[in-house]
Chain A
Amino acid sequence: DSGVTQTPKHLITATGQRVTLRCSPRSGDLSVYWYQQSLDQGLQFLIQYYNGEERAKGNILERFSAQQFPDLHSELNLSSLELGDSALYFCASSVNQGRVNEQFFGPGTRLTVL
């Protein structure tokens, strides 16, 4: 158990809808990272927050947004969903803006868009 929790574990929705994925980092971790893993693809870095502020952006679509709240949990919002958004979404956390080996991953949320 990495100490990072993600809810829900599974989410099934329809095209055009909007969903929110939630992540609670390890106790004491200030950074939260979001990754997307599509079928047969590696993890794609989406976005990073540090202590409530956006710090880095990767291949995140404009239809997607994220935020980190004062209690340090983070939410990833996906809107106008398309079939291709079906994927595993991982959240990771680290104490600071550390190197990737210092990131701890949650179990992921599997999103299925029908």
Chain B
Amino acid sequence: DQQVKQNSPSLSVQEGRISILNCDYTNSMFDYFLWYKKYPAEGPTFLISISSIKDKNEDGRFTVFLNKSAKHLSLHIVPSQPGDSAVYFCAASFFYGQNFVFGPGTRLSVLP
């Protein structure tokens, strides 16, 4: 049973538009959430995180929104750029925990 779900395996967006990647989780004890980006032939790289005491965290073009009651988070990329084309993983953990749970990933394609 997947504790972290990313129900869209892929997403295509035009350059300059907004990309919205979604993530749902089932364990209400998770209180720290992260997004990782992965290019082919490379390891994942950390993108942005949010703790459960916040509902929004912003870093440049990237914003993560957290809706704890719905157990849902989303990553917004505005404006999308072709270099953003990658697989995006959502991950959840307990704030001081070590057992990090990743979703299956969403492949984002930003079309020029």
Complex CA gap A105/B2 in Å reads 23
Complex CA gap A57/B2 in Å reads 18
Interface stretch of the complex, out of B67-75, B77-85, B98-106:
B98-106
The interface size of chain A toward B, counting residues with CB under 8 Å, comes to 26
Residues of B contacting A44 in the complex (Cβ-Cβ under 8 angstroms):
102
Is B91 an interface residue, CB under 8 A from the partner? Answer: yes
Contact residue among A45, A90, A99, A104 (Cβ-Cβ distance under 8 Å from B95): A99
Residues of A contacting B91 in the complex (Cβ-Cβ under 8 angstroms):
42-43, 100
**Cβ contact within 8 Å between B43 and A40:** no
Is A84 an interface residue, CB under 8 A from the partner? Answer: no
How large, as a class, is the contact surface on chain B? Answer: 20 to 34
Q: A41-B104, A48-B98 are in contact. Are A108 and B34 (CB under 8 A)?
A: no
**Cβ contact within 8 Å between A43 and B99:** no
Is B52 an interface residue, CB under 8 A from the partner? Answer: no
- For window 43-70 of chain A, which residues contact chain B by CB distance below 8 Å? 43-45, 48, 55-56, 58
Is B4 an interface residue, CB under 8 A from the partner? Answer: yes
**Cβ contact within 8 Å between A101 and B46:** yes
Residues of B contacting A56 in the complex (Cβ-Cβ under 8 angstroms):
98-99
Inter-chain pairs besides A42-B6, A43-B44, 14 sampled, C-beta below 8 Å: A35-B102, A42-B2, A42-B89, A42-B101, A43-B100, A45-B101, A90-B43, A97-B98, A104-B43, A105-B44, A105-B45, A106-B43, A107-B42, A108-B43
